[in-house]
Amino acid sequence: GAGVSQSPSNKVTEKGKDVELRCDPISGHTALYWYRQSLGQGLEFLIYFQGNSAPDKSGLPSDRFSAERTGGSVSTLTIQRTQQEDSAVYLCATGGRSQGSYEQYFGPGTRLTVT
Amino acid sequence: AQSVAQPEDQVNVAEGNPLTVKCTYSVSGNPYLFWYVQYPNRGLQFLLKYITGDNLVKGSYGFEAEFNKSQTSFHLKKPSALVSDSALYFCAVRVNLPGYSSASKIIFGSGTRLSIRP
């Protein structure tokens, strides 16, 4: 079946603008994660959804970052008043406890560049 | 605190030699452990996992990993390295969320860059 998809694949924005990143999970996957990866670096956990609720928002860097998930499916990550340090690849991953396993399936990411 | 550590930023191996990428963890309860690989300009891919059962688990591309409970380690191994194995490797562990009976999240190590020279 279809994998995790993310849009846009690339986003260039001016400092101070708001951006919205989208993640379409694999159908039926209940868990959804957002991560941030700076060039060649590790994964920084941002937020985790189980269904539509977010039990763990501990990784959001500031109140400029927010995320929501509706219908237990699509999720959007919003960054307000973007700053240059927000430039990174934003990765979405999904997984399903109902699948009997806990591995995650990653989308291709959205490369965000703040100029 | 629950965590996962990859002590080596970079591992260099000659093609044909065995390789090991190290991972140690600290979690409460039984650990669920994972390895992921990220090839240049490509997304993260799942390699293998340990949930329960045999301590030696086999995964994609000829990789395997050994779970060692006493040493709290889950090192990634391959008997004979290929140049095409050069990539960024991440170890990950499932941790329970405090206050939730069934919710958990996956946390990742900092990554190890594996470089295989011809």
Total number of domains constituting chain B: 1
**Cβ separation B106–A104 shorter than 8 A:** yes
Name, of A65-69, B29-33, B102-106, the range with top average pLDDT.
A65-69
Q: Above 70 in pLDDT, residue A9?
A: yes
Interface-testing mutation among A104, A110, A111, with chain B (most B C-beta atoms within 10 A): A104
10 Å Cβ neighbour count for A107?
23
Domain that holds residue B18: 3-117
The proportion of chain A whose per-residue pLDDT surpasses 70, expressed as a percent, equals 93
Q: Above 90 in pLDDT, residue A4?
A: yes
* CATH number (domain holding residue A67): 2.60.40.10
Based on its alpha-carbon atoms, the radius of gyration of chain B, rounded to whole angstroms, reads: 14
* CATH number (domain holding residue B60): 2.60.40.10
Instruction: Name which residue leads in pLDDT, A45 or A15.
Output: A15
Contacts of B45 in chain A (CB under 8 A): 106
The proportion of chain B whose per-residue pLDDT surpasses 90, expressed as a percent, equals 70
**Cβ separation A42–B109 shorter than 8 A:** yes
**Cβ separation A91–B43 shorter than 8 A:** yes
Q: Above 70 in pLDDT, residue B69?
A: yes
pLDDT at A86: 96
Mean predicted confidence (pLDDT) in A2-18: 95
Alpha-carbon gap, residue A18 to A7, rounded angstroms: 15
Q: Above 60 in pLDDT, residue A99?
A: no
Mean predicted confidence (pLDDT) in B97-106: 68
Q: Is residue A115 part of a domain?
A: no
> Each residue of A48-79: b (16+ CB within 10 Å) or e?
bbbeeebbbeebbeeeebebebeebbebebeb
Interface-testing mutation among B39, B105, B110, B112, with chain A (most A C-beta atoms within 10 A): B105
Q: Above 90 in pLDDT, residue A110?
A: yes
Alpha-carbon gap, residue A34 to A94, rounded angstroms: 9
10 Å Cβ neighbour count for A15?
12
Instruction: Kindly state whether B108 is in contact with chain A, defined as any CB-CB distance less than 8 angstroms.
Output: yes
pLDDT at B103: 66
Tell me the CA end-to-end span of chain B in Å, nearest whole number.
Answer: 41
The proportion of chain B whose per-residue pLDDT surpasses 70, expressed as a percent, equals 94
Instruction: Kindly state whether A38 is in contact with chain B, defined as any CB-CB distance less than 8 angstroms.
Output: no
**Which residues 38-97 on chain B approach chain A with CB closer than 8 angstroms?**
43-46, 49, 51, 88, 90, 92, 94, 97
**Cis, peptide link before residue A8, omega less than 30° from 0:** yes
Q: How many alpha carbons lie under 13 Å from residue A65 in its C-beta half-sphere?
A: 17
- Confidence label for A1 from pLDDT (cuts 50, 70 and 90): low
Interface-testing mutation among A103, A105, A111, with chain B (most B C-beta atoms within 10 A): A103
Domain that holds residue A43: 5-110
Q: Above 70 in pLDDT, residue A44?
A: yes
Q: Above 90 in pLDDT, residue B94?
A: no
Total number of domains constituting chain A: 1
